[in-house]
Amino acid sequence: MLDITDAQGPSGPNDACFAFAGRNAVVSLHQPPHEPWRRDQLELSLGRPMLEVPIGLWRGKPCYALEVNPDAVNPLEHIEGNLFSLLGRVSDEVFSAFGRAAQMLSWRSDHRFCGRCGERTQLADSGRALSCQACHYSCYPRLSPCVIVAVTKGESLLLAAAKGRRANFYSTLAGFIEPGECAEAAVAREVREEVGIEIDNIRYFYSQPWPFPGQLMLGFYADYASGEFTLAEDEIEDAGWYERHNLPSVPPEASISGQLINRFFRNLP
């Protein structure tokens, strides 16, 4: 399990490392995908990293997110794939570690220079911040809070297909929380904007880190209150009420959307 209370330790050959080539995770064909690299093994196989960020301790060892040269990835030696391909195939703790690694690398890359004065930044606060020595501004990693909601109507569940999404499945509604808005208000607004109906009895379910690229998903249930579907044409391709016997293709249960859907139908009489 990744312990982020101490984000930086002394670097050494036994460091645990989660490697990325661009946005794709890279693991060795010669070890299980749920095990991070050892630094010495990684450098022998993929060369010196182009970028690295401390992300905590993995089973007591200093742990780093590393960006490697994509040209060093060899399909005969390595497996390369996006984070979504790991969802449900590795444990939650491993997926969370990969997700944190990806987000920390993205944060480090996006904030190489100070947003206030333009000077180069450097890691500070045990790897938790990027600091500018010129103007003393510190930038910490930021998450985008999102809501995702399963709207119920008797034994039916509202599911929708997003416009332009390559994955061919129906899911629960979701959206970003706006400045000055609480999570429950965001739930009601997103449902109203996307499908045109009103809801009530909004209740919290669970949260999930969602590194695509940097969201925290807050899951809710809500009951249908009134209205007919009026779809937001730029966001929603199709929407409808579905019962247990006529479910379309839905997200995997490893995702919070899949958990909302499966829990609702499991709890029906």
Q: For the segment 14-66, what is each residue's pLDDT rounded down to a tens digit?
A: 999 999 999 999 989 888 767 899 999 999 999 999 999 999 999 888 999 99
Q: What is the pLDDT of residue 8?
A: 58
Sorting pLDDT into bands at 50, 70 and 90, what band is 9? Answer: low
Residue type, 222: A
Whether the Cβ atoms of residue 258 and residue 252 lie closer than 8 Å to each other = yes
CA distance to 152, 155, 170, 230, 233, per residue, from 237 (Å): 20, 23, 10, 11, 7
Q: What is the pLDDT of residue 19?
A: 95
Structure-block tokens of residue 147: 């809501």
Query: What is the distance of C-alpha 76 from the center of its chain?
Result: 29
Task: Return the higher-pLDDT residue of 84 and 165.
Answer: 84
Tell me the mean pLDDT in the region 62-85.
Answer: 92
Topology at the third CATH level for domain 2-110: Nucleoside Triphosphate Pyrophosphohydrolase (3.90.79)
Domain at 144-266: CATH code: 3.90.79.10
Whether the Cβ atoms of residue 170 and residue 248 lie closer than 8 Å to each other = yes
Least confident of 73-87, 103-117, 173-187: 73-87
Structure-block tokens of residue 162: 């997003």
Whether the Cβ atoms of residue 162 and residue 236 lie closer than 8 Å to each other = yes
Q: Domain extents for the chain?
A: 2-110, 144-266
Sorting pLDDT into bands at 50, 70 and 90, what band is 128? Answer: confident
Q: 223 pLDDT exceeds 90?
A: yes
Least confident of 121-125, 161-165, 242-246: 161-165
Please state, as a whole number, how many other Cβ atoms lie within 10 Å of the Cβ of residue 81: 13
Q: What is the pLDDT of residue 156?
A: 97
Q: What is the pLDDT of residue 11?
A: 72
Residue type, 11: S
Q: 253 pLDDT exceeds 60?
A: yes
Sorting pLDDT into bands at 50, 70 and 90, what band is 231? Answer: very high
